Amino acid sequence: MLRNNEITFVNTHLNFWDKLNTNEKNLVISNTSLITYNKGFNLYSADTDCLGVLIIKSGELRTYILSEDGREVTLYRLTEGNTCVLSASCILNSITFDVHIDAECDSEVFLLNISTFSKLCSQNVYVENFAYKTSIERFSDVMWAMEQILFMSFDKRLAIFLIDEMSKTNTAEISLTQEQIAKYIGSAREVVSRMLKTFQSEGMVELSRGSIRITNKEKLKKLL
């Protein structure tokens, strides 16, 4: 059940809101709840039940695919105001692949439960439309990730990642392990480690346990 001050946040991110009748709006309000997921929590995977629609209030969720031998490839990350329907993909017949979703930090997420979303999808074409449209945005994210992984040279990919992280956190210090970076960019830790050492020897970064300090952003940008 949503509180009054939460309704506005949720309905501005569900673009079908104006197409709902009063009864349907009440359904959304009574079947959406605010959940806190702790850092590292796996919200969703091939083995868990269908969750419903996620609307991120704060924090960050990471979506990835997982190989049989445990290798992860990050598809995209969701932050404040993003919505996710792949967590409700059991009701979207056209989606036949499995993703995993983890909380990257403590995250507050509104969850519209699956049975309500399923009901709305079947009775209101605008809700169904929202589900497909939101999935398509993720399709574009995935294509971007795929082109990066398949086509871009590794030094460029790593440089882009470091610069993005720096802008996001607004500091030159990136508090991530090499293992985490490898996961985010779909590579192996050894490969990341080797390239970071190259960057360090060229004076672009300084490495310490669990973090990387960018010391020459301009030089790093020349790799792009």
Question: Which spans of this chain sit near a copy of itself (rule: CB under 8 A)?
Answer: 65, 67-68, 71, 73, 92, 94-97, 125-126, 128-129, 132-133, 135-140, 142-144, 146-147, 149-151, 186
Instruction: Kindly tell me which of 17 and 132 has the beta carbon lying closer to a copy of itself.
Output: 132
Instruction: Kindly tell me which of 38 and 144 has the beta carbon lying closer to a copy of itself.
Output: 144
Cα angle value 183/185/189 (rounded, 5°): 50
Q: Which residues face 37 on adjacent strands? A: 107
Instruction: Kindly tell me which of 5 and 94 has the beta carbon lying closer to a copy of itself.
Output: 94
Residue 148 CB, nearest distance to a copy of itself (Å)? 11
Instruction: Kindly tell me which of 105 and 146 has the beta carbon lying closer to a copy of itself.
Output: 146
Q: Which of 84, 98, 75 is CA-nearest to residue 145?
A: 75
Residue 203 CB, nearest distance to a copy of itself (Å)? 28
Residue 208 CB, nearest distance to a copy of itself (Å)? 31
- Contacts of residue 58, defined as CB under 8 A and 6 or more positions apart, other chains included, come to 80, 107, 108
Q: Are 34 and 72 in contact (CB under 8 A)?
A: no
CA–CA separation, 116 and 100 (whole Å): 22
Residue 110 CB, nearest distance to a copy of itself (Å)? 21
Residue with the two structure tokens 């792949």: 86
